Amino acid sequence: MSVYASNGGCPTGGPASLIDDIRRSLEHLAAAGWRGFDCAPETLARLAAWDRPLECPPGPATLEHIAADLGDCRRCKLWRGRRRIVFGAGPSRAALVLVGEGPGQEEDRQGLPFVGAAGELLTRIIAAMGLKREAVYICNVIKCRPPDNRNPEPDEIAACLPFLRRQIAAIRPRCICTLGAVAAQALLGTQAPLGQLRGRFQQYDGIALMPTYHPAYLLRYPEKKRAVWQDVQQVMAALEGAVHPGLRTPQGG
């Protein structure tokens, strides 16, 4: 198994950070029921052909560095059907990061997150929070569209998750709001259902994380909009300074 195939390039924290990234990815695969890896000769040859650089850029990683490490990603099978990689959009020092599960058809066409019907609803939710969409960083757990918009598979999540972690580390937000079960479970390392996770702050690397329903789910079940409003009201309070006890405030402003 290639280290660089799973960690998405060089982490900023050195070997300890690299080991932690690998451990979390393995834990996620184990929780999903995986018990082995594909070590077939053709797979190993493909990994060797990736020719990843072994040296990290000096200083802390930026979103630009992370996007460059991602490159024309072929770390999982989703690259075969994608049109565009959807890395993320928003300011590099956003106070709020919204994380969905993966791009849909319109996102795949434009290369931007949440631009379809669910994205229009998300924009309205952000406005109801008293924020502008341009002030929020929006991304997904995986960066290539799954076939027929199916849920991401465990190996696909494991390949992309280190990049998402690096994005969050680079932004250092005050709050994260995950949209849907896939994003919440991936970042929290749990298989607990979303109904058990939402409604109260969780913790991700010392950051307040609020799981809530995905806007696409709300389009199918509009009665859940009230629950989402309850969740984002807590996020609004955290952004205004009432951070959940035990969770850190952002560094550097």
User: 13: pLDDT confidence band, cut at 50, 70 and 90?
Assistant: low
Q: Which helix (H) or strand (E) holds 70?
A: helix 63-70
Q: Give percent above pLDDT 90 in the chain.
A: 71
CATH for 3-239 is: 3.40.470.10
User: 96: pLDDT confidence band, cut at 50, 70 and 90?
Assistant: very high
* Segment 99-117 mean pLDDT: 97
The DSSP symbol for 218 reads H
Q: What is the pLDDT of residue 22?
A: 73
How far from chain centre, in Å, is Cα 103?
11
User: 108: pLDDT confidence band, cut at 50, 70 and 90?
Assistant: very high
Helix, strand, or coil here: 173?
coil
| Average per-residue pLDDT for the chain | 85
The pair phi, psi for residue 200, each rounded to 5°, is: -150, 155
Do strands 137-140 and 207-212 pair parallel, antiparallel, or not at all (unpaired)?
unpaired
Q: Which residues are CB-contacts of 54 (< 8 A; sequence separation ≥ 6)?
A: 4
**Domain boundaries, given as residue ranges, for the chain:** 3-239
Q: Is residue 77 pLDDT above 80, yes or no?
A: yes
Sheet strands side by side (includes 137-140): 137-140, 96-100, 175-179, 207-212, 202-204
The residue behind tokens 């993320």 is 88
Q: Is residue 29 pLDDT above 50, yes or no?
A: yes
Of 135, 218, 141, which is closest to residue 178 (Cα–Cα)? 141
Of 179, 180, 235, which is closest to residue 207 (Cα–Cα)? 235
pTM: 0.76
Residues 192-227 have pLDDT tens digits of 999 999 999 999 999 999 999 999 999 999 999 999
